[in-house]
Amino acid sequence: MVSRHLNPDIARERLIKHLRGRGIKDERVLEAFRKVPRHQFVDGAMYAQAYDDNALPIGGGQTISQPYVVALMTELLELGSDEKILEIGTGSGFQAAILAQFSRRVYTIERRRELGEAARKLLRAMGYENIVFKIGDGTHGWRQHAPFDKIIVTAGAPVVPRTLVEQLSVGGRLLIPTGDRAYQELEVYDKTDAGIQKRSVGGVVFVPLVGEHGWEGR
């Protein structure tokens, strides 16, 4: 675990060592964590916990995901260096910033306007020019810019939305947590000429994916 009393640079290196110890092997993913300052994506009251391996609240009942889960999902995408990525659930913007290290273009959709606009403002201020933002129902995907090489969903769905599978390119990969509101399985969908190949890589807990092809909002 990362100490709450270290400066960000030291804390970030401790986190990277921790992630490596948990099995993250892709050094490019770890280098992305080195480049993206997670403390800038959390509320000031949470600053001291920014490099702990925990999810943290960001307002509106949403969270910035646990660093290990972000690293695992990024590694599972098996990203190249020039891919077109769709992210469902911008949240704080941290995952989008990590993805932007690998991508020609990241398209990210956030349902909650206040979160999406805050993430856009922060990422623009940090110099990210290859991230495109949209406020809307992420379960519809972004047909205007489809197909996508990779799609990552950072909220738990009852089932995988068919719209997202349709917007995935042949040879592409979709990551999505599916299950109930309290617990999900992280699933990997690979789209091939022969159809869809699916596998599960373990249990996770995400906030619900709300939308027409997800959970109904409360």
Residue 109 has which token pair? 């959709």
Query: 3, 65, 169, 200: which one is catalytic?
Result: 65
The answer to whether the beta carbons of residues 138 and 217 sit under 8 Å apart is no
User: Is 97 strand, coil or helix?
Assistant: helix
Told to judge if 81 belongs to the known catalytic residues of this protein, a careful annotator would answer no
User: CA-CA distance, 178 to 139, in Å (whole number)?
Assistant: 13
User: CA-CA distance, 188 to 201, in Å (whole number)?
Assistant: 7
User: CA-CA distance, 96 to 85, in Å (whole number)?
Assistant: 9
Integer CA distances (angstroms), 16 to 24, 51, 63, 91, in order? 9, 9, 20, 22
Residues with active-site annotation: 65
